Amino acid sequence: MRIALIGQQDFGRAVLEAFVARGDGVAAVFCAPETGRPDPLRLAAEARGVTVHQFARLTDPAAAEALRQADAEIGVMAYVTQFVPQALCAIPTFGTIQFHPSLLPAHRGASSMSWAIIAGRRQTGLSIFRPTDGLDEGPVILQRRVKIEPDDTLGSLYFGKIFPLGVAALVEAAEQVVAGRAAALAQHEAEAGYEGIIRDAESQIHWASHVDLTYNLVRGCNPAPGAWTTLNGRKLFVFDCTKRIARTFGEVKGHKVGEVVAAGPAGITVLGQGGFLDITRLRWDGGKKVAAAAAGIEAGAMLGS
């Protein structure tokens, strides 16, 4: 196959390498302009002599002309944060396919994996679909399911499960499309759902919520953006932790939700509604992640204050 790859970061790089390893031709790579560290996809493409384009907007007529010049059989979208117009998707001979890390039509949107964990789902997965101008709304070519284990975080779900499956699924779907064997089925709108990006408002911990909900929020925001609380007006991000349910009134008697009920070499223990979070890693706003035991938080402190 001769592909045009639209994507960025480590996932885009892995997809590029998967196609190259098969002997497929990569006609061109389109990735977003960099604002921080060098994009691994750009570096990998340039190292292989692949033409790289970095348009500020893919609606730019020059982007369409660059894709026409690439003369690709199929476009492959791998971790795309820019809007890709339908007119651009239609340029390759067999159109374009896109990766999304949820079982569409559930969890449309950029924070789909986080929301699956936060909502307490026991499974999620990935979809390869035909992109349309509606966000994650196009017909689906194939899907792969994965379990969400009780202690999975966003990091373990993505890097340990969805990332490798997604790379393989894009290759498989591209092969099916070019061979004329890919049926694209419309999404069932009655089961559809969209959630917005996880930002400060969504990632704030409310200690009066049930500890199950708080634990899911922490897991769904770990490693980024981090679920957060405050201590004496200072923002504190919570990362690695485990959950313990309170079985009796005696376990919580004399304490308030949000209170640090214990602090020691293993970390800190915070009372939530219905149980405890044993926290082992956190980060003060503006600082680096540290072991909770080294954060200077003492028993009796009230989080959320």
pLDDT in tens, 181-232: 999 999 999 999 999 999 999 999 999 999 999 999 999 999 999 999 999 9
Given this model, what pLDDT does residue 53 score? 98
Q: pTM value?
A: 0.96
Cis omega (within 30 of 0) for bond into 85: no
253 vs 109: CA distance, rounded Å: 42
Cis omega (within 30 of 0) for bond into 105: yes
Q: Is 159 helix (H, G, I), strand (E, B) or coil?
A: helix
Could you report the per-residue pLDDT of 101-148, keeping only the tens digit for each?
Answer: 999 999 999 999 999 999 999 999 999 999 999 999 999 999 999 999
Domain ranges of the chain: 2-191, 200-294
Could you report the per-residue pLDDT of 9-53, keeping only the tens digit for each?
Answer: 999 999 999 999 999 999 999 999 998 899 999 999 999 999 999
Does domain 200-294 fall under CATH 3.10.25.10? My reply is yes
**Which CATH code is given to the segment(s) 2-191?**
3.40.50.170
Given this model, what pLDDT does residue 237 score? 98
Given this model, what pLDDT does residue 36 score? 87
Q: What are the percentages of helix, strand and coil residues in the chain, rounded to 5?
A: 30, 30, 40
Could you report the per-residue pLDDT of 230-279, keeping only the tens digit for each?
Answer: 999 999 999 999 999 999 999 999 999 999 999 999 999 999 999 999 99
pLDDT band of residue 156 (cuts 50, 70, 90) is very high
Q: Which residue, among 63, 67, 64, has the nearest Cα to 4 in the 3D structure?
A: 67
Given this model, what pLDDT does residue 244 score? 97
Token pair listed for 30: 């389109």
Could you report the per-residue pLDDT of 68-98, keeping only the tens digit for each?
Answer: 999 999 999 999 999 999 999 999 999 999 9
pLDDT band of residue 173 (cuts 50, 70, 90) is very high
254 vs 217: CA distance, rounded Å: 26
